[in-house]
Amino acid sequence: MQIDISRFRDSFFVEAAEHLENMEAALLQLEGEPENTETLNTIFRAAHSIKGASTTFGMDEVGKFTHVLENLLDQLREGVAKASDQLVELMLTSVDVIEGLLAAEKENADPPGNVDEVIAALNEAFQAATGGQSLDGPSGTAGKAVEVAGESSGETIYQIQLLPSREFFCFGQDPYLLLRELAEMGQVLDIQVDSTALPPLAEMNPEHCYLHWTIKLQTEATEAAIHDVFMFVDEATRWNISLSTDTDTDTPKTSEANAAEGLPTETETDSQSQIDQTTPIAENTGDSAKAKPDTSAKSNVRRTISAGENETVRVDRRRLDELINQIGELVIGTSMVEQDLASFGAGRESAAMGQLGKIVRDLQEMSLSLRMVPIAATFQKMARVVRDVSKKLGKEVQFITFGDETELDKTVVDQIGDPLVHMVRNAVDHGVEMPSDRERAGKPTAGRVELRAFQQGGNIYIELQDDGKGLNRKTLLNKAIEKGIVDSSENLSDNEICNLIFAPGFSTANEVTDVSGRGVGMDVVRRNVEALQGSVSIRSEEGKGSTISVRLPLTLAILDGLLVRLGHEVYIIPLLSVVESIRVSPDQIKRIVGVGEVITLRGEVIPLLRLHQALQRGNGQDYEDGLLVIVEDQGRRMALMVDELLGQQQVVIKNLETNFRKVPGIAGATILGDGRVALIVDIYGVSLMHRPPANNTSASRECMSLDSTISCTQQDTAEANTDPNSLTVS
Amino acid sequence: MTSDIELDQESPAQGQLAGDSHQFLTFTLQEQEFGVEILRVQEIKGFTRVTPIPNMPACIKGVMNLRGTVVPIVNLRSKFNMPEAEYNQFSVIIVVNVEQKVMGLVVDAVSDVLNVNRDAIEPAPDLGQNVDTAFITGLAKSSERLVTLLNIEELLMHDQEMAVAS
């Protein structure tokens, strides 16, 4: 049967990316503790999985490369070579190469240029490792060398039981391939097939596997290596590997005992194989029986972990969104029924309705949590960034993360990566000083960079703190004035000066390095974060370090909104932008030439926008005593005049672009409890629509106070400049 | 939502017939008959509340809630420079699928489904200024009727004024 595997390609790439992620994380961990065999095994497993799968998909380049890497890893695992810093570095580069190769396969692009180079380096390292072994053998690290020698001289005999699941063939597997692979590992002394489960021909399903095998294998390979053969079989398939102490007196252990045995570590296998040679058989079996609890405890832990991994289900994002969408509809539908019921029942509360409402709300909450993923993977990538950048710059940096388990909307997590990379690079490049400078400043030579994530209210905060030199306000201000970002006459608070680094075209690095300093970094960070409906700010103390704080909404699917009425329509203003709402009398509204209407609120002049005019809604009503909603966007305040405040509500955001196009001044739409569509106001977009109206009103209203006009004009420079009628008051 | 009719597109009887015959859903606008290819039609709905969108040309009536999806509604009367009509219970929204977007067309009334042979379609004549002929596939004559067949891709996606795809 020909199976079209191309449709699995996408999931292969997703899985491969995960393996690479694990590998990278483990490598970084290995750098700290080079002796950790469990970490090494993780790396090896990841490499092996990528190799196997990529070969299946005909990506020979990837397969070939991973094979070379795997050889080296094998040496490390065997304890022949040590995971030195150079080796880890080399392997990290290899991870990048694999990533590049995979990307090349995925997008039909050119493979990374340094493949051959890295392969050569890996081979060299491999040669060095194997060469080192033979040199070290006689004299060097006694225990290990002897173990290795012992193992190679006396091959171990394993009894392997293979119990394929019924659906074994349905997964595209073939027991013959497994058996052949086992045979290649050593010498097969005996193989038996158990056909007792085979039903009569009439009842037999030809697509099912009814046979079990028992293999006696004499090999140099470790038990872990044998387990690796079965790496890709389906979950229901069982296999047991046990040590067969003697070819003649093989009393196969019961399957329970075998199952409990699990995966002893290599050293145990090795030591057991040594015992085999020295101790009588009976005692050995007794010993191993006694020694079992420890081993089985270990293997049990492993089993649970892998079972846990298997319990996740991969779901297409669109289907998930669809589900969440429909549940959102269910919530709306329920509240519609509730309203109907209330009108029929004349105020009598229905217990059943209350119950249903609660279930539906729980359901919605649950559905939203489906999209939430921990930020750990993103933080992981930052560890690599810190490592690479600090190595390159010759700085010592201790990187610590907190709150890895904090959960965020998948979309947010996907999009926060790039801004975080910028931030982290900046912290290491500009924040943390060179070790010598640090010493002079009386700080520990190693800088400390902390990345924290936590939830507060309906927001997630990500904070990046370094203990570096902090921001120099004078330099910042001079730079900003030089670049024309601020005017020298402006009086800025310390905090405002610090936040200038988020202004477009701002970079304080004296020279452009390839690490940072292109003058786009922090500006891009701000824009990306704002695109996610978040905000970013920095606190800094000179000489002590800086903390950048990113605030993000928990989810992009839901928004806390202020419902306002404009004529007959309901509009929603994002509550995040709302500062306050006030009622003003007509005489509090002033008119300034070139600016339009403004109000003065506690001494601050705020431009006023009649929302119904900007959105062309309603007319003929007395808006003069309308309500004002003061909103803030990127530090700019604006007063929006509305007809009525209707209340506050969480709304599910619907994209207008899905079926239509982007509408200026509108961020999206939502469906209200009564089934109506309400539009969500885009504060920034609306602020762009704020144009000074044609100047035709009486001069008596015009405010000529110069002090207050200056700040107004500066706030509105963008609009004022584009308006040919504008007058510059200052 | 008084007269929702679901058109089953999968059913061969309603789909494209064998040979060169095409099916069109016909509707009226100011006594004129128009037709849209039936494979584009997702469903037909009674007229419901429409939320207006600010700063849009008159032919964009607004958006409606179609079972949780926000769907833009195009007023074909104003698109064709016809006088505005009061929308009542006979007004109908034809929900169409165009280039993966779902949109609604408000029409006066839906008539029936018309089988048209491809060779029975005549090229669009110059209809003067009232109707731009770019989005007219052709004219179909069936007994006493004359139906203007609309190319809704052209009408909804590529028209300057609509500029939906932009």
> For the packed helices A142-153 and A266-278, what is the interaxial angle rounded to 10 degrees?
70
Sign of CA dihedral A692, A693, A695, A697: negative
CB contact (8 A) between residue A659 and residue B69: yes
> Which H/E stretch holds residue A73?
helix A60-77
pLDDT band, residue A101 (cuts 50/70/90): confident
Give the mean pLDDT of A102-108. 80
- Which residue type does B66 have? L
Cβ pairs A/B, distance under 8 A? 75
- What is the C-alpha separation between A383 and A531, in angstroms, rounded? 25
pLDDT at A648 over 60: yes
Buried b (16+ CB within 10 A) or exposed e, A375-408: bbbbbbbbbbbbbbbbeeeebbbebebebeebbb
At A345 the pLDDT is 66
pLDDT digits (tens, 9 = 90+) for A420-441: 888 888 888 888 888 888 888 8
pLDDT digits (tens, 9 = 90+) for A568-610: 889 999 888 888 888 887 777 888 877 778 888 888 888 888 8
Q: Is A332 on the interface with B (CB under 8 A)?
A: yes
- Which residue type does B36 have? V
At A641 the pLDDT is 86
The residue among A609, A659, A671, A672 with the most chain B CBs within 10 A of its CB, best to mutate, is: A659
pLDDT at B48 over 90: no
- What is the C-alpha separation between B98 and A136, in angstroms, rounded? 73
At B127 the pLDDT is 60
Find the residue in B nearest to A652 (Cα).
B68
- Nearest Cα of chain B lies from the Cα of A674 at a distance, in angstroms, of 10
pLDDT band, residue A637 (cuts 50/70/90): confident
pLDDT digits (tens, 9 = 90+) for A376-393: 888 888 888 888 888 888
Cβ atoms < 10 Å from Cβ of A535: 18
At A613 the pLDDT is 75
The residue among A334, A616, A660, A666 with the most chain B CBs within 10 A of its CB, best to mutate, is: A660
Nearest CA-CA partner of B76 in B21, B131, B116, B4: B131
pLDDT at A142 over 50: no
At B15 the pLDDT is 42
Higher pLDDT, B147 or A248: B147
CB contact (8 A) between residue A663 and residue B64: no
Residues of A labelled catalytic: 48, 70, 426
Q: Which residues of B fall within a CB distance of 8 Å from A660?
A: 53, 63, 70, 72, 101, 103, 164
Give the mean pLDDT of A451-479. 83
Q: If DSSP codes are grouped into helix, strand and coil, which group holds residue A534?
A: coil
Nearest CA-CA partner of B70 in B50, B97, B92, B42: B50
- What is the C-alpha separation between B72 and B64, in angstroms, rounded? 6
At A120 the pLDDT is 82
What does pTM read for this prediction?
0.52
- What is the C-alpha separation between A538 and A375, in angstroms, rounded? 21
Q: Which residues of A fall within a CB distance of 8 Å from B102?
A: 659
CB contact (8 A) between residue A569 and residue B164: no
User: Among all chains, which residue has been given the structure tokens 């190799």?
Assistant: A51
Helix and strand counts by DSSP (H, E) for chain B: 2, 12
pLDDT at A291 over 50: no
Are the C-beta atoms of A554 and A476 separated by less than 8 Å? no
pLDDT at A490 over 80: no
Find the residue in B nearest to A655 (Cα).
B70
At A701 the pLDDT is 36
Helix and strand counts by DSSP (H, E) for chain A: 23, 22
| Termini Cα distance of chain A | 82
Higher pLDDT, A132 or A722: A132
Identify which of A326, A615, A656 has the shortest CB distance to residue B70.
A656
CB contact (8 A) between residue B64 and residue A658: no
Nearest CA-CA partner of A561 in A499, A506, A631, A655: A631
Interface subset of A 610-629, CB within 8 angstroms of B: 614-617
pLDDT at B16 over 50: no
Please give the radius of gyration of chain B, using alpha carbons only, rounded to the nearest integer.
15
Mean predicted lDDT score pLDDT of chain B: 77
Nearest CA-CA partner of A97 in A80, A119, A79, A75: A119
Give the mean pLDDT of A396-415. 86
Q: Which residues of A fall within a CB distance of 8 Å from B65?
A: 671, 675-677
Can you list the positions of beta strands (E) in B5-161? Answer: 5-6, 21-29, 32-37, 41-46, 60-66, 69-75, 92-98, 101-107, 109-117, 121-122, 136-142, 145-150
Give the mean pLDDT of A671-680. 85
Are the C-beta atoms of B89 and B48 separated by less than 8 Å? no
Q: Which residues of B fall within a CB distance of 8 Å from A615?
A: 54-55
- What is the C-alpha separation between B158 and B152, in angstroms, rounded? 9
pLDDT digits (tens, 9 = 90+) for B89-130: 778 999 999 888 899 999 888 888 988 887 778 887 766 666
Q: Which residues of B fall within a CB distance of 8 Å from A666?
A: 53-54
Its ipTM equals 0.80
Strands B21-29 and B32-37: antiparallel
- What is the C-alpha separation between A656 and A661, in angstroms, rounded? 6
Strands B32-37 and B145-150: parallel
Cite the DSSP H helix spans in B40-121: 76-79
Whole-angstrom CA distances from A689 to A599, A611, A614, A672, A728 are: 18, 10, 6, 26, 19
Higher pLDDT, A119 or A5: A119
- What is the C-alpha separation between A496 and A486, in angstroms, rounded? 11
Give the mean pLDDT of A405-413. 85
Structure tokens at A152: 């190679």
pLDDT at A146 over 70: no
pLDDT band, residue A233 (cuts 50/70/90): confident
CB contact (8 A) between residue B68 and residue A658: no
- Nearest Cα of chain B lies from the Cα of A312 at a distance, in angstroms, of 29
- Which residue type does B125 have? P
Structure tokens at A685: 């977009």
At A494 the pLDDT is 77
Give the mean pLDDT of A119-136. 66
At A289 the pLDDT is 41
pLDDT digits (tens, 9 = 90+) for A687-700: 777 654 444 433 33
Are the C-beta atoms of A276 and A245 separated by less than 8 Å? yes
Identify which of A328, A614, A678 has the shortest CB distance to residue B68.
A328
Least confident of A107-111, A302-306, A489-493: A302-306
At A572 the pLDDT is 92
- What is the C-alpha separation between A637 and A223, in angstroms, rounded? 69
> For the packed helices A115-136 and A60-77, what is the interaxial angle rounded to 10 degrees?
20
At A288 the pLDDT is 42
- Which residue type does A404 have? D
Q: Which residues of A fall within a CB distance of 8 Å from B163?
A: 661
Longest dimension (CA), chain A: 114
Give the mean pLDDT of A657-685. 83
CB contact (8 A) between residue B101 and residue A325: no
Nearest CA-CA partner of B93 in B48, B147, B38: B48
Q: In chain B, what percentage of residues exceed pLDDT 70?
A: 77
Structure tokens at B110: 């839906």
Are the C-beta atoms of A331 and A651 separated by less than 8 Å? no
Structure tokens at A213: 């095998």
At A451 the pLDDT is 92
Candidate ranges A472-486, A527-541, A569-583; pick with highest mean pLDDT: A569-583
Are the C-beta atoms of A527 and A618 separated by less than 8 Å? no
Q: In chain A, what percentage of residues exceed pLDDT 90?
A: 2
CB contact (8 A) between residue A616 and residue B54: yes
pLDDT band, residue B63 (cuts 50/70/90): very high
Cβ atoms < 10 Å from Cβ of A475: 12
User: Among all chains, which residue has been given the structure tokens 């700080």?
Assistant: A443
- What is the C-alpha separation between A361 and A330, in angstroms, rounded? 9
Structure tokens at A89: 């570095």
Strand ranges of the sheet holding B32-37, from the earlier edge strand across to the other edge: B109-117, B21-29, B32-37, B145-150, B136-142, B121-122
- Which residue type does B67 have? R
Identify which of B63, B67, B71 has the shortest CB distance to residue A329.
B67
- What is the C-alpha separation between A343 and B152, in angstroms, rounded? 43
Structure tokens at A614: 């900007």
Give the mean pLDDT of A473-489. 77
Strands B136-142 and B145-150: antiparallel
The residue among A323, A661, A676, A690 with the most chain B CBs within 10 A of its CB, best to mutate, is: A661
